[in-house]
Amino acid sequence: MTTGTEPRTPARRLPAPDRPVPTSTYRVQLGADLTLDDVAARVPYLADLGVTHVYLSPVLTAAPGSTHGYDVVDHDEVSPVLGGEPALRRLADAAHAAGLGLVLDIVPNHMAVPTPAWHNRALWSVLAEGPASPYASWFDVDWSAGEGDVLMPVLGDRIGAVLASGELHLEHEVVPGQGEDPQPVLRYYDHAFPVRPGTEQLPLAELLERQHYRLAYWRVADEELNYRRFFDVGTLAAVRVEDPAVFDATHALVLRLLDEGVLDGLRIDHPDGLADPGGYLERLRDASGGAWVVVEKILQGDEDLPPDWETAGTTGYEALWRIQQAFVDPGGAARLGALMHRLTGESSDALPEVVDTAKRQVVDRALYAEVYRLTELAAEVCRADLRLRDHTWRSLHDCLVELLVAMDRYRAYVVPGRTPHPTDVEVLEHAARTARARLTPERAATMDVLVDLLLGREVGSAGRTREPQRDELVVRFQQTCGAVMAKGVEDTAFYRWTQLVALTEVGGEPERFSLSPTELLAWAARSQRQTPLGMTTLSTHDTKRGEDVRARLGVLSELPVEWADLVGRLREASAPYRSALLDGRTENLLWQTLAGTWTADGPIAADRLTQYLTKAVREAKDRTSWTAPDDAYERAVLDVAVQALGDPRVAELLETWEHRTRQAVRGAVLGQKLVQLTFPGVADVYQGTEVPTVALVDPDNRRLVDHEALAARLARLDEGAGTRDLADEKMLVTSRALRLRRDLPEAFVGAGAGFVALPHSSGHVLTYARTADGDPRVAVVATRLAAMVDRLGGWGEHTVALPDGEWHDVLGDRRVDGGVRPLADLLDRLPVALLVRRTDA
């Protein structure tokens, strides 16, 4: 709970006093099919829904055909595809007229390597002029590697074969943004590259040798790429915003829009990729006048935000997994683990091993170029210092690999020249202790040297701490840690672990399996003190499954015996067409995916299911992958999925399951949503999730939303119509909670907002109040584990103690007196209750 004696929220977690703070946001995914003017047309509905800010996906000009906007090519222009700056201003005017503001998602870490490359003028300049380009400092290129040429791994075969086939051509074309006269351009199908002046008359092979870039077979990238990228995505080149000139150039437009009041706040994409995230956020706060800023930062376990970061908080993944897992039954862990063991051979405690194996695979393959560069840096440092010279390249490489695998969070935040924070020292030393246990004893001394180097300590000859290679090693190691975590855990291990796939979410903690109400409410109270204006969410454009799919899957934990029996029956039904190539991990994933997406309206469409499964098995990298697809295996997987969808017996089994679990799903869907919308922080609603939504990983979760149908549903409820189905009920819960936040901001985002748990007698409810200056203003009661409540025969004599006073149930539109109230009375209509205390009584 919070009281008047609680520590004050650190000033760095609060925007400047004159800057607007959202009470809630509504995320929209912009694109050619949803422009800024389209969003402006939806403003009346969003205002009616109750949100205070529209939260926009990136709006700067992106690579041609971009479906998400994170592949920026021009920081000086609002995308013409979205309507340009005039459309953004029209949207801002419409939003402000309706009492709403705008929050923008920005991407400081990287830019696109588009096709053709000329769409990124800064990159085109670097390819044309090399280190002499005025934009050379923008990109994190290792000019010492590859003979000083930027590697462009775009060829479908090795360079010798491509030359022999005549697929490369010298042509003269008008290059956009480079004047009206044709210029010599090197063409490879849709790719185009500049030609260094004076080389266009050379034989083709010699011409290639004379450029500031090296065209190469695409498979070369993972081993020899010499520019930093976003994780393992070669088409996203890292940008050096740690350089003040680069920061200013890449943020000028966004900062101007903030200064002019067009924008009200920012969401920062992937700050862990930056050289100095803390320094970046400090610079951004100064430049933006203290605007409300949240960061896409994944906090592992009980990790806190770095104490010196100037940000309101994160985008809410730590809230997502905790809220979800409070609705997961811990009693289901053993049964679901046993089922996984029967299908896959893995035991319930095998996740650390799965993660370890996946991280090693990523380090050895997709991120080999990054690890090689780290080893080269460490070896250069050791070779340059007599006292360190006997630490060999191989020993340094072995230690780096083990250290990267052992890191249990995305990175530490060591800044060259500064004394590291004790937390960062412990993060690295803890990883080193784990890594040492996996190495031969003779590597121990090298590990000691490496840890000292990575912490910026004096090691080797006296006085040697700040050298270019040492500084770069410190920074680049931390940037690589994040890539290993993201690709090894999120994008590999989490596609392999199938005990309960709802838990393998971005930022998730599947080892925890479930969270008790006490743990959840204690965490919420702590968040109220530390990051009261951070974001909370249940679904994003990056989640692997939407919140309602995860809620359906969570019910498996409440009925694990029944689920295991159903899987047995599904296996019997599918036996005639289930190929021997189908492995247990993918089969377990398939059945859970069908259960999570099978609603009262039936199953997910076959094309959506097969697209999802294709991505899932390739990300898992067990039997197939994006770079080496196994066609026979993938056909076997997709054939089983399609035939299962068309199998009447499978349909009957899953329809029966859907009907049986309907009330438990109802409790989870509504309970999770109400808790998320009333917890400490700024509540975000992902587009369309105000009603139950079937959504899988992107691009499935970025499909267009029928806002007209949503607006009609909300209008009907506002006119007094009763709820007819779960969609009406979720719309009712979402709209009333959002409106309450808007009408009582002092209880949610005000300086005196507080959070206090309410006493109750049942382990199957979450109960708490939101307070303003210590005065209870809002009370929340949410059912958890509704199947267990049903099994127990209802609420019986269980009660909750509401604060004194007269309360209004905003969902049931009725009066409720304070004091000890029977749960059966409060939850007789819905599995949740949202109460506001009357102050006019």
Q: Both 144 and 226 in a single domain?
A: yes
Q: How far is CA 780 from the centre of its chain?
A: 28
**pLDDT of the residue at 145:** 72
Residue 741 makes CB contacts below 8 A (sequence gap 6+) with 23, 24, 50, 52, 677, 678, 683, 748, 749
Domain boundary among 287, 315, 343: 315
**pLDDT of the residue at 3:** 45
**pLDDT of the residue at 143:** 86
Task: Answer yes or no: is 161 within a domain.
Answer: yes
**Cis bond upstream, residue 532 (ω within 30):** no
Residue 111 makes CB contacts below 8 A (sequence gap 6+) with 71, 72, 73, 120, 122, 123, 138, 139, 236, 237, 239
Q: Both 472 and 428 in a single domain?
A: yes
- Alpha-carbon dihedral of residues 254, 260, 265, 270, nearest 10 degrees? 10
Contact 684, 27 (CB under 8 A): yes
Any idea what the Cα angle at residue 210 is, between residues 206 and 212, rounded to 5°?
145
CATH of the domain at 215: 3.30.1590.10
Distance in angstroms (rounded) separating the CA atoms of residues 752 and 747: 7
Report the pLDDT averaged over residues 16-42. 97
pLDDT at residue 304 above 70?
Answer: yes
Q: Both 196 and 141 in a single domain?
A: yes
Distance in angstroms (rounded) separating the CA atoms of residues 418 and 429: 18
Can you tell me whether residue 589 is helix, strand or coil? helix
Q: Both 478 and 420 in a single domain?
A: yes
Report the pLDDT averaged over residues 695-703. 96
Task: Answer yes or no: is 545 within a domain.
Answer: no
Domain boundary among 474, 494, 514: 494
Q: Both 381 and 482 in a single domain?
A: yes
**What is the Cα gyration radius of the chain?**
28
**Cis bond upstream, residue 699 (ω within 30):** yes
Task: Answer yes or no: is 532 within a domain.
Answer: no
pLDDT tens per residue across span 372-394: 999 999 999 999 999 999 999 99
**pLDDT of the residue at 146:** 64
Task: Answer yes or no: is 99 within a domain.
Answer: yes
Can you tell me whether residue 825 is helix, strand or coil? helix
Q: Both 41 and 146 in a single domain?
A: no
For helices 444-454 and 422-436, the axis angle rounded to 10 degrees is 160
Pair of tokens at residue 353: 């091993």
pLDDT tens per residue across span 435-467: 999 999 999 999 999 999 999 999 999 988 889
Domain boundary among 477, 494, 511: 494
**pLDDT of the residue at 18:** 93
pLDDT tens per residue across span 822-837: 999 999 999 999 999 9
pLDDT tens per residue across span 243-298: 999 999 999 999 999 999 999 999 999 999 999 999 999 999 999 999 999 999 99
pLDDT at residue 1 above 70?
Answer: no
**pLDDT of the residue at 7:** 66
Q: Both 406 and 419 in a single domain?
A: yes
CATH of the domain at 36: 3.20.20.80
pLDDT tens per residue across span 704-731: 999 999 999 999 999 999 999 999 999 9
Task: Answer yes or no: is 321 within a domain.
Answer: no
Q: Both 216 and 277 in a single domain?
A: no
Distance in angstroms (rounded) separating the CA atoms of residues 689 and 705: 9
pLDDT at residue 5 above 50?
Answer: no
pLDDT tens per residue across span 144-176: 876 789 999 999 999 999 999 999 999 999 999
Residue 465 makes CB contacts below 8 A (sequence gap 6+) with 456, 457, 458
Q: Both 434 and 445 in a single domain?
A: yes
Q: How confident is the model at residue 2 (pLDDT cuts 50, 70, 90)?
A: very low
pLDDT at residue 699 above 50?
Answer: yes
The model's pTM: 0.96
Q: Both 47 and 191 in a single domain?
A: no
Q: Both 233 and 270 in a single domain?
A: no
**Three-state secondary structure string covering 429-465:** HHHHHHHHCCCCHHHHHHHHHHHHHHCCCCCCCCCCC
**pLDDT of the residue at 839:** 85
Q: Both 291 and 200 in a single domain?
A: no
Structural domain total, the chain = 3
Structural domain including 388 reads: 354-494
Distance in angstroms (rounded) separating the CA atoms of residues 119 and 213: 17
pLDDT at residue 511 above 50?
Answer: yes
Report the pLDDT averaged over residues 661-670. 98
**pLDDT of the residue at 820:** 98
Task: Answer yes or no: is 4 within a domain.
Answer: no
Distances in whole angstroms, Cα of residue 110 to Cα of each of 73, 74, 234, 535, 696: 9, 11, 11, 23, 26
